Structure 1
Amino acid sequence: MHTPDPVPAAPTAADRKRWTRYLVEERAEAHVYQQLAERKNGEEREILLELAAAEGRHEAHWLELLGGEPAHLPRPGFRTRMLGWMAGRFGSIFVLALAQNAEARSPYDEEVYATPAMRADEKVHFEVVRGLAARGRRRLSGSFRAAVFGANDGLVSNLALILGIGATGVGSGVVLFSGFAGLLAGALSMGAGEFVSVRSQRELLQATEDNGPGDAAASDLDIDENELALVYRARGMDSDESLDRARRVVSAAKAGMAMQTGPLRVPASDDDEHEIVGSAWSAAISSFLLFASGAIVPVLPWIFGMQGNAAVLVALLLVGIALLSTGATVGVLSGGPPLRRGLRQLVIGFGAAAVTYLLGLLFHVGVG
């Protein structure tokens, strides 16, 4: 465990300059958390406001050492300014993911003028921000994964198709037609697959919802000893939780809440209650559009009349930028290094395209 050096008797000009930098950074970070809190409610809002208040306490510490507000304040660092700009314009997930990385690099571990409480605060802040970011990632993971998968699939598969066809020596018109055929075939395949997947999932869940003849008998069950609890135990609950839930359902039935047309619906487990299965058509259409949005990118040079090596180079440039962007975005959201994730996407995409390009050269047909 690091033990800070003893505090010098007389602070230097460099010390005061450093305190001023800490002051503006703490003030800017507090503003970021306040902006995020304005876009939230409930528990997340309270947590963000507590973080802002803690940054305010740190700010007060440096103000006290400086003897009041300095006459001239530097600008916050680029990262903090970027966080502030994003906090006012975008959702919190991107900001929190970046803030998580920023909180992991606290300068107070080596700062002799920082108090032990401030050093502890920074370590706790990292865990708090990581927890908030994890909440956002869980909410975003399904839709974001589908978006990245669909767009990247379109980018890579159509680039590979176009380069493979082009390498055989066919004319630019054939390359363009192949690109559109690949776009339409891939997008339709993605849309159809997503439609079948979501429809099958909905049908599977519907098959597990009804309790059949047991529903009508809910009000006649014994509250203390009833087999309804077995339903919940079969769904993964422990015995105490399942019995408690069953008692509440039976009590509601005996109180007359079951007087309705149709059978009484017995609630599923908490996980089941929050299981959201979207519309099969909306899932199919979104998958179609996401794939198409990626697949159109490598075709653009030929759409605008380019041919030969120039069209290939422009297609590689456009797809490379798109792959780097999606990879970097995944890196930001996952808390990983954006550049490394972007380069990984680029290598995978270009690697797949290189394979089909080499196959095209192997089967060169010599058509101008």
Structure 2
Amino acid sequence: MKIIQAPMAGAQDAELAIAVCRAGGIGSLPAAMLSFEQLQNELQKLQTQLDSRALYNLNFFAHQTPTISDLQYQRWLDLLAPYLEEYGLRIEDIPQGKGREPFNEASLSLVEKFRPPIVSFHFGLPDDKLLGAVKATGAQIWSSATTVAEALYLESKGVDAIIAQGFEAGGHRGMFLNKDLSQQVGTLALLPNIRKAVNCTVIAAGGISDARTMAYAKAMGADAVQVGTAFLLANEAKITPEHKAALQSPAAQHTVITNLLSGGYARGIPNRFMQDVGAIHVDALPFPMASLAIGLLNTAATKQGKTDFRSLWAGQNAILTQPGSASEIILRLQNG
């Protein structure tokens, strides 16, 4: 069964994707936290270091940029006030802007220039015009679904593959039709229901960290698997030493869904901020706006050797993972 390395923004660059491709998997490059110039450089590395026939996946966020009211912003500032004071920061220090940009015309220009074999999206799909232009390059189109309704929507838009993202998955949930967490289910329930509902390729994601969980996914109808947390421990990944240590500690046995760090629901190991105010808070700004202030606080905390605001993303089966090279991790996934 084909192994796809999940795109993990902030935790990798082209090096991991290249290593996975060379080991027989499908490597992924996440664009979400890269500038235009950085993404162009990483794509250049992929094209110069991989065989022209190698399959790799270029991933983008397709979220809708939110509009926030003055009241929403003030409530967020009120929640953050004690921490800003603790770290000697001012409200004026918080960066302004939209946060991470969704897929746009600039992104499309790079897709048209480099023509990656696979282009995937998280948080739905871009508008029909942009999507049509991506299809015109000949790329396969993949996108994440966290419910059957999302899978049916994606199939209606002509995607080539649907990534069935179970509730166990680390990092950001790909939710896009609604934000109701009560509708989110684990891979064991989501995968067979999506498999029954659609006719396109279905990729299982969430909780797949070893050969046994891969076998379960195959038995439930998955055409391939997407693995994230296991590759965080790859030598080629770029996570911090603190994140790597947390993934290999008892702390990784308890992950939670939070909206505090970016405004979007995501699974990770609790940090101090999440423990103080609760993992999910009504006053968190919507995705990706919360990340502007949290990034500032995280930088200040990191300078003091603290992880108070660090994103320690991890799936629920992190306990099954082991460090090593990307090729060693793929061999363990395949053979146990």
Identify the TM-score tier after normalising by the shorter chain.
under 0.3
Query: TM-score, normalised on structure 2?
Result: 0.19
* Higher relative contact order, structure no. (Cα contacts within 8 Å, ≥ 6 residues apart): 1
Higher fraction of helix: 1
